[in-house]
Amino acid sequence: MGFVWFWLVAIMIVAYVVLDGFDLGVGILHPFLARTDEDKQLMLRSIGPVWDGNEVWLLAGGGTLYFAFPLLYASAFSGFYLALMIVLWLLIMRGLGVELRMHMEIGVWRSFFDGLFFISSLLLAIFYGAALANVIRGVPLGEDGYFFLPLWTNWRVGPAPGILDWYTVIGALVALVAMSLHGALYLAVKTEGGLQQRSRAAARVLWIALLALTVVSLPASVIARPDTLGNYRAYPVLLAVPVVVLLALSGMLYFSGRSDDRKAFACSCTYLTVMLVGAAIALYPRLLPSSSDASRDITIQNALSGPHTLRVGLVWWAFGMCLAVMYFIIVYRMFKGKVSLTSGGYDH
């Protein structure tokens, strides 16, 4: 059951990053690709009916951690309390930016909420990348399973790191560029004309940055946490993961160059999925490694709930996920095609 719940949580995190990732990317690119107010409205309409639904996966992942791995939930939410509160406020600010922008036809009003949408999207991408890097690197877990992290110490990876060091900064940059590229490719699928051309051009520039950061991040992870290769050495077939990452990167460039935007966006989805799956493989069976003493690692076995809780939870989880998947299929089918200012769209 521990193996099952580990990968169920991983699936929900992947779903959130892939689906809400392009929302964040659109927000990050909002002030750079939009030349007119009409462009800004089109960018918001491209995500309007789906952005809030995409965040369901974040809530589902947190709820699953709560009953499947309560020790991890308690430790992580305590140690990362300040960061999680900031993320909560950023999610609220982003929602306000989307929902309130069109309520008044006043330049200052719209500029304020455009800025709110951009800043919150940018910082969310950075926080998510830094958070994942903190988990991979490890945190200074105490004997009671709790920890405290200062914002930074000496910027080095070690037994007593800070939230920010050279490795977590790399993780933040990878997330920022990957989600920006994801958003650019999504905009190329959903828009036409000048906005679509600028999105394609932005995707080409961002692709170069993402390739460089990906090549740097893989050995950086080994330096920061040498035992991340343990499962890959034990099961050589898993070495297909970095190969698929590079193939997905190549596919983004190839299909974008041929103006096949849907396939380029599918390659971006594959890239994000496989990168996260690769991180989960590197961690397994650990959930939150200790940076100072491996015996204090929070693992599947010492964090798992009781068998009755897991069996009952699996039934309700399956029921809830069926409803969620049906909802997403219906919404995305209704929302397929290009967005415009004259038909359909999102006017909030």
Give tens-digit pLDDT for 78-132.
888 888 899 999 999 999 998 898 888 888 999 999 999 999 999 999 999 999 9
pLDDT class for 316, splitting at 50, 70, 90?
Answer: confident
Residue 309 has pLDDT above 90, yes or no: no
* Domains of the chain as residue ranges with CATH: 2-334 (1.20.1630.10)
Burial class (CB in 10 A: 0-12, 13-18, 19+), 229: middle
Residue 22 has pLDDT above 90, yes or no: yes
Coil vs helix vs strand at 152: strand
CB 37 within 8 A of CB 292: no
pLDDT class for 346, splitting at 50, 70, 90?
Answer: very low
Q: Which of 78-87, 220-229, 262-271, 289-298 has the highest mean pLDDT?
A: 262-271
Residue 59 has pLDDT above 90, yes or no: no
| pLDDT confidence of residue 29 | 97
Give the HSE-up count for residue 301: Cα atoms under 13 Å, Cβ half-sphere.
Answer: 4
pLDDT class for 343, splitting at 50, 70, 90?
Answer: low
Query: Which residues pair with residue 139 across a beta bridge?
Result: 290
pLDDT average, residue stretch 236-250:
95
How far apart are alpha carbons 173 and 195 in whole angstroms? 25
pLDDT average, residue stretch 36-47:
92
pTM value? 0.92
pLDDT class for 345, splitting at 50, 70, 90?
Answer: very low
